[in-house]
C-alpha cells in the first residue's frame, strides 16, 4: 500500500489557474499532422479514440506539459525520433473539460470546438519568454 500512496504524489489534477481562468487559456497539443494542413484548416474535432465511456468521443486533447505533448509528436513508440510538432493553442475554457482518470500522470483536457489557425502557435517559433506569462504551463 505504501508504494501506491507514493505513486499518488505524481498524479496530476486539474490546474487551479486553468479552472479559475475567466475566458482563455493556452495549452499544449502534440501532433504529427503536416504544418501546412494546420496553417490552412487549424485543428478540428474528430473521434478521439478514447475507450473511456466518461469521455465524449469528439474532441482535441491538450495538456499543460510540453514533455507530455511531445510524446504525440513521435512515430511509433515514445523512444522514436520526433516527427511532428508541439502546438500552443488559445482555448476558450467553456469548451474545455478536464479528463479525470484513475491514473492521470499528466493533466489532460479535451476541447470540444474546432480551433482556428490564428489561435495556434507552433512551439519552435515561440520565444521561451512568451511562455512565462502562463504559470500553469510546464515547459
**Confidence category of residue 27, pLDDT binned at 50, 70, 90:** very high
pLDDT tier, 4 (very low <50, low <70, confident <90, very high otherwise): very low
Q: How far apart are CA 47 and CA 134, in angstroms?
A: 29
Query: Taking Cα atoms as reference points, which of 51, 9, 45 lies closest to residue 29?
Result: 45
First vs last C-alpha separation in the chain: 32
User: How wide is the angle at C-alpha 33 spanned by C-alphas 107 and 138, nearest 5°?
Assistant: 25
**Local structure of 125: helix, strand or coil:** helix
How large a percentage of the chain has pLDDT more than 90?
21
Residue 8 has pLDDT above 70, yes or no: no
pLDDT in tens, 52-94: 666 666 889 899 888 888 888 877 666 667 678 899 999 999 9
- 2 CB-near residues (< 8 Å, 6+ apart): none
What confidence category does residue 5 fall into, taking pLDDT thresholds of 50, 70 and 90?
Answer: very low
DSSP string across 93-108: GGGEEE---TT-SS--
Distance CA 36, CA 72 (A): 18
Whether 50 shows a pLDDT value over 80: the answer reads no
C-alpha cell read off for 9:
504524489
Whether 16 has a pLDDT exceeding 80, the answer reads no
What 3-state DSSP class applies to 28?
strand
Amino acid at each position: 500500500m505504501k508504494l501506491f500512496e507514493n505513486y499518488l504524489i505524481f498524479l496530476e489534477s486539474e490546474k487551479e489557474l486553468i479552472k479559475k481562468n475567466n475566458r482563455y487559456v493556452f495549452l499544449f497539443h502534440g501532433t504529427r499532422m503536416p504544418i501546412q494542413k494546420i496553417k490552412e484548416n487549424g485543428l478540428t474535432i474528430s473521434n478521439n479514440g478514447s475507450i473511456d465511456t466518461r469521455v465524449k468521443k469528439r474532441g482535441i486533447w491538450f495538456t499543460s506539459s510540453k514533455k507530455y505533448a511531445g510524446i504525440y509528436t513521435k512515430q511509433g513508440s515514445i523512444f522514436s525520433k520526433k516527427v511532428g510538432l508541439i502546438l500552443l493553442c488559445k482555448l476558450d475554457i467553456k469548451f474545455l473539460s478536464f479528463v479525470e482518470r484513475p491514473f492521470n500522470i499528466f493533466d489532460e483536457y479535451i476541447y470540444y470546438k474546432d480551433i482556428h489557425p490564428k489561435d495556434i502557435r507552433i512551439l519552435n517559433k515561440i520565444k521561451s519568454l512568451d511562455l512565462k506569462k502562463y504559470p500553469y504551463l510546464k515547459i
